[in-house]
Chain A
Amino acid sequence: MIDKIFSYLEAKYKRFDIRFETHTSRIIELKKEKIEKLFETCSAGYSVRAVENGKIGYVFLAGEKPEPKDIKFKIKLPWAKTLDLKPTAAIKDKVYVTATKPLENISIDEKISFLRDLDRILVEAGIENREIYYSENIVEKHIRNSEGTEILMRIPYAYVRLTASYKYQDRIASIRRAWGIIGGWEQMDTDPLRELYEESAEKVKTSAQARAVKPGKYNVIVDGDLNHLLAHEALGHASEADLLRVKTILQGRRGKRIASPLINLVDHKKFEVNGVKGYGWIPYDDEGVSGGKTYIIREGIFRNFLTNRETAFEFDLEFTGNGRAQDWMNPVIVRMTNTLIEPAREDLAMSNDELIRELRNGLLLKYGRGGQVNPMAGVFTFGVQEVYLIEDGEIKEQMASTSISGNILIALKNIVAVGREYDRPEIGAGFCGKSGQLAPVGASGVWLVIKNMHVGG
């Protein structure tokens, strides 16, 4: 069928591309002991994009055998800018992510049994209110374009999320933990995941009984998860080139120092730690562009915007391979993949123990709870799930969950020490929302010492 649509487009348009996708998904949701949801679905359809009269139009068609359709937009608006897609080299490739235990070979029974094991850990720890959500999505993509690119990809995703709350007297604390992998069941059914559940169960109980942090400015250490959140939410979004159409705090700052010279901030399409892929791992983006590690910031200097083919043409920028769509029912927009802060100089990077000693007095902040940023003003806010008081270079008591906020251009300059130990990529797995679309992203980075962070309300 893709050939039929290709021929139809070839006869009418000079520049176009087609994406045929199938998403085979399984969802299991365990609420307390009960299986609340269990279903399997398969969604298939085409996304067609073509350039006509300097405009880029999209058509989305459901199913495997739809009839081709034109986009009817004839009105001429004199202010509308002429657009095109930056031409790409023709690439022909197949990338199928393989696994020792492919997700589709593991029975639903086994998956349920695994989730029940995780649930048992929480029960034994006395966590009454709990929810475990498992999703897997085997994504197959066939991308073709007018330049001759033809790419086939098969990427299996699996993700499990814990949400739990614990009541102590009249106080309730809640906790969220994610574990996301690209690959097979062998990366899901693991001891480290069980250990994460054991630890989380204890932490939420302590958090419910803990003292609140007095709002104010603190010197803090953020863990790998918050490193990723800071990199992704606070600066990554501002570096997406489609924001140049509107406004971003990074406009006109290429080549200028915007952060501590100790850091690089990267978007790494093929990020892996010890063979474990970041949840945003992609061999090619949804436009068939190959990407690697893009330095958004290198040694504190702002270097690159992230692009797709549209923005690369519009602003005469390099390809970075960041054109992504949620599925066939959505247009490709500029999206991040695995975004994190890494040490600019390995010789200055420290172990986590050294960072704690370096901080001496302050707070250790672990595990984010989502965030939001205004990329035009640089204002950001993140929830923080675990907070520890550090005194005299030692971790002391656990405090209640809190939030951090600030201005990104100030916070990035306030990074005074960088770690070298990467937290597990699985725990930084998540989904980024933009323009109503979700995209899998990761990953966890190293710990960072940041001074004068606004903590709490």
Chain B
Amino acid sequence: MDMAKRALEIANELGADAAEVFYGKTVMKSLSVEKNILKPIYSETEGLAFRIAKNRNISFSYTYDLSEESIRKTIKTAIKSAELKGEDPNYVGFPNFKSITSSFISEDIKGLELDDLGKIYDELRGMFSGEKKVVLISGELAYFEGSYRILNSEGVDSVMEGNAVVIGVSALTKEIPPNHTFKYTVERKRDIKVDEIFEEILKKAERIIGCKEISYSGEPEIVFTPSALGMMLTIFIGQIDASRIKMGMSPYTRESLGQEIANKSISIFDDPLNEKSLMPTKVDFEGVPTKRRPLVNSGKLTTILNDFYHAKLLDLDPSANAVRHSIWGVRDPVTIEPTISPWFITFGGKEKALDEIVEEVQDGFLVESVMGVHQADPASGKFSVPALAVRIQNGELKNPVRKIMLSGTMNDILRNMDVISKEREHTFLGEIPYTRTRGIKASAEKAPLGYRIKMKIANILLRLGIIKF
């Protein structure tokens, strides 16, 4: 008998009222590069995680020791913890959806080795070698292969498996101080278009080289790049998380469903089946079937992200967003309880080419990156963040500005977001467009004169080759 099924039996023998067994095996081969330093890494983990119900409550534990003795000990610990929690009046047990096999294994990349990752980076590095304004500075390239199974005492026996190549590379503009740009992509084929990665980084870097100091105060039009919007959207994602709504730590409630919270021309989706995502899947980590669903449909809030428990608690349609965070990432999914998270965010709505969007802006900024979004007030969505942005005047991109303060609320961003670009970019959050919005206050001021003079001299010396980058 397989060990996951046996573990379910053991839970029953030990007196669990109900149980869920999660089996996970993850192999990762990764190559970390910082300038000319290479670090190959190999890791392999295989373990079992349990969620055990006792006296109408559930607790969690896991083990990497797959002996029956260790499984028993771990389940006993979970039973004891569930008892200590006391009865949950909202206890719902485990889901009883039909079993699903979700396989996104690409045979093309199976067995990819560290040497193959080294060749990809080497090719990319070669492309950057002749560049005078931009330097490739680091990369994280990894091949992941994961095999997961969810069984529960309601009869669920679902399988999730997949593999992917993940590439993240960083480049700097050759100036003092430099600006940073980044490209992230997930691939499921060996023939990786390295030249496209190169071109994309170059295009982004060229926009942000040569920052100027400006003084500014106003409420300009803001065009977010996909990476900047991806960061800002993490505020919104938290606000539509059922566990936070339940706690009152969101401006939204269950009654917000169907209400207009964003501009009518915008729709936002969560797409678990999108093959560009790190882990496309037909089933979530509790065994609930997934599907592409709108979070915001033509400006109206249509989904509150939930897991099985919160779906029942708030009387919501199950959205299948129970995710073992950091899937294939630094933390092993076995060690993490499922929590609510989107799978892969995409956009729909009124589209224009980025050039057209910029042309329509008289006084604005193209925001390339933002810092400190995690400091935003989760309850109100209020933020105040420094950004790297490119000035837009009379429909044209002008000079970049290293630090402009943006302040407003997530609500402002969504309600005033009137157009998205045809262009999309792959980010950690999903496939995101450029977007234009208003209602955000912006301010910038020049650095002290002494500092500006020092930077000016340093850049002259750099150009003359007297100091090296």
Contact = CB atoms under 8 A, between A and B. Distances in A.
Interface of A: 31-32, 34-35, 37-45, 55-64, 69, 71-75, 77, 79-81, 83, 108-109, 112, 128-129, 131, 163, 165, 167, 171-174, 215, 242, 245-247, 249, 252, 314, 326, 329-331, 369-374, 376-383, 401-403, 405, 407, 409-410, 436-437, 454, 456-457
Given A35-B85, A39-B61, A81 B37 contact: yes
A457 B441 contact: yes
A405 B402 contact: no
10 contacts: A35-B57, A41-B60, A43-B64, A73-B115, A75-B118, A167-B379, A331-B41, A371-B372, A372-B371, A379-B386
A71 B42 contact: yes
A377 B448 CA distance: 15
B108 interface: no
B384 A371 contact: no
B332 A370 contact: no
Contact of A43 (B137, B335, B402): B335
B380 interface: yes
A165 B329 contact: no
A40 B405 contact: no
Contact of A129 (B61, B248, B380): B248
Contact of B64 (A62, A165, A378, A454): A62
Contacts of B464: none
A215 B375 CA distance: 17
Interface residues of B, number: 82
Given A246-B172, A383-B372, A410-B447, 8 more contacts: A41-B62, A62-B44, A75-B114, A165-B248, A165-B379, A245-B36, A436-B326, A456-B407
A172 B377 contact: yes
Contact of B37 (A57, A245, A326): A245
Contacts of B81: 38-40, 108
A382 B78 CA distance: 39
Interface of B: 31-32, 34-47, 57, 59-65, 77-78, 81-82, 84-86, 88, 113-115, 118-119, 122, 125, 137-138, 170, 172, 177-180, 247-249, 251, 326, 329-332, 335, 337, 371-372, 374-375, 377-380, 384-386, 402-403, 405-408, 441, 443, 445, 447-448, 451, 467
B380 A376 contact: no
A45 B44 CA distance: 10
Contact of A454 (B31, B43, B405): B405
Nearest to A52: B40
Nearest to A374: B371
A246 B174 CA distance: 12
Contacts of B85: 35, 38
A74 B40 CA distance: 10
A377 B177 contact: yes
A370 B44 contact: no
B247 A129 contact: yes
Contact of B40 (A32, A58, A242): A58
Nearest to B180: A376
A174 B377 contact: yes
A38 to B, nearest CB: 5
A402 B82 CA distance: 40
A29 to B, nearest CB: 10
A381 B385 contact: yes
Contact of A457 (B35, B179, B406): B406
Given A55-B40, A60-B42, A407-B451, A376 B405 contact: no
A56 B137 contact: no
B337 A405 contact: no
A57 B38 CA distance: 9
A174 B239 CA distance: 14
B137 A247 contact: yes
A32 B443 CA distance: 39
Given A314-B37, A383-B375, A457-B406, A73 B138 contact: no
A128 B377 contact: no
Contacts of A381: 371-372, 375, 385-386
B265 to A, nearest CB: 27
B455 to A, nearest CB: 10
Task: Identify the interface centre among B43, B385, B405, B448: most chain A CB within 10 Å of its CB.
Answer: B43
Task: Identify the interface centre among A63, A109, A171: most chain B CB within 10 Å of its CB.
Answer: A63
Nearest to B36: A81
Contacts of A40: 61, 77, 81
A31 B247 contact: yes
Contacts of A81: 35-37
Contacts of A329: 43, 45, 330-332
Contact of A34 (B31, B88, B384): B88
Given A32-B247, A131-B247, A410-B447, A62 B46 contact: yes
A73 B118 contact: yes
A178 B326 CA distance: 24
A407 B447 contact: yes
A44 B64 contact: yes
Contacts of A59: 41-43
Contacts of B61: 39-41
A60 B115 contact: no
B374 A69 contact: no
B372 A41 contact: no
Contacts of A75: 114-115, 118-119, 122
Given A80-B37, A129-B247, A407-B451, A69 B42 contact: yes
Nearest to B441: A457
Contacts of A58: 39-43
Contacts of B45: 45, 60, 62, 329
B78 A39 contact: yes
A23 to B, nearest CB: 9
Nearest to B217: A215
